[in-house]
Amino acid sequence: MLWHSARGINLIIGMKKIFLTVLILACNIVFSQTTLPVTYSKIKFVYEQKSNFFIEDDKVYADTLLLKAEYPKLKFSKVISPSDSTKIIGFLEIKSFNNEDKKILQSNLYHTTHTIEGTYDLKKNKTKLFFTRGNKALNETFKKYFGGNYNAFIFNVVVNYNEKKIHTNYPKTNYTKSFDSQLKKINFTSDDKSIGTYTFQTNKDFQTNLVTLDKKYNNKITPDIIFSNNDFGVIKIASLFDTITLISVIYE
């Protein structure tokens, strides 16, 4: 009986040691991926872009300003956000949408849902970004509310810092723009230059977005939006319509 007890204790101790070893290894892996090493040649990073609309229990939720902008003729109700109890937002019953209302929502969800995988090459001073539109959740939403799947779409953007050009490559067309025509200037609202806004002109009017940066990241860590005065990497860009968030960074 005592032998079995001792054996059980030894087994538990052994399992704890194994668990601790695995935990240490896991921590080391995460540390190596997210901490700036002494030398590296490439920075790989991933952003997630999401629409600021979301659907839950057949209701369409969004900031009240977004609902007013996209659905000026519809009357929405205010409610505590299901995803953030500190925010008051608006919602519309999706069953009240006509075909045109659904098309507006469908277009927003489709064009603002991306996984953005970027690689900055230090030697070439160039970033290549791969945009994958949609995900499993979006596909389920399209099937439930819009009567079919979304069309899968992949394209890439090459930011050449030496040439000061941005090359966008879609499946059927390509185009190139100069830095001068695309550079955005951040108006910083914090002393450490980690938070600010930038304003630019769209086809309809002027739009102002909020940008958040982190000093631990290289300033080449950014989606396809290029800034003239950022010292750090971009961790979030929030517009009225969508939000782009940095998910991971790996140095190689």
Q: How far apart are the C-alpha atoms of 230 and 211, rounded to whole Å?
A: 10
Name the band, by pLDDT with cuts 50, 70 and 90, for residue 11.
very low
Q: Quick one: pLDDT at residue 24?
A: 38
Cα distance between residue 35 and residue 249, in whole Å? 9
* Domain boundaries defined on the chain: 1-35, 40-51+112-252, 53-104
CB atoms within 10 A of CB 70: 19
Give me the chain's average pLDDT, please.
88
Top pLDDT among 171 and 32 is at 171
pLDDT at 20: 41
Whether 36 shows a pLDDT value over 90: the answer reads no
Among 25-39, 81-95, 184-198, 213-227, name the one with the lowest average pLDDT: 25-39
Question: From CA 236, how far away is CA 213, in angstroms rounded?
Answer: 7
pLDDT at res. 34: 57
CATH architecture of the region 40-51+112-252? Clam (2.50)
244 and 48 in contact (C-beta within 8 Å)? yes
Q: Highest mean pLDDT: which of 4-18, 22-36, 139-153, 181-195? A: 181-195
The separation between CA 217 and the C-alpha centre of its own chain, rounded to angstroms, equals 16
**How much is the pLDDT for 16?**
40
Tokens of 218: 């290289």
- pLDDT above 80 for 12: no
Q: Which pLDDT belongs to residue 35?
A: 67
CA distance 34 to 80: 35
pTM: 0.84
Q: What is the pLDDT of residues 95-144, one digit of tens each?
A: 999 999 999 999 999 999 999 999 999 999 999 999 999 999 999 999 99
137, 143 contact by CB (below 8 A): no
Cβ contacts of 202-208, under 8 Å, gap ≥ 24: 207/239, 207/240
Q: Rounded to whole angstroms, how far apart are CA atoms 114 and 242?
A: 11
> At residue 25, does pLDDT exceed 50?
no
Radius of gyration of the chain (CA): 23
Q: What value, to the nearest 5°, has the Cα angle with vertex 195 and ends 192 and 197?
A: 135
Confidence (pLDDT) at 217:
97
What SS3 class is residue 112?
Answer: coil
pLDDT of residue 5: 43
In this structure, what are the phi and psi dihedrals at residue 118, rounded to the nearest 5 degrees?
A: -115, 150
- Predicted pLDDT of residue 195: 98
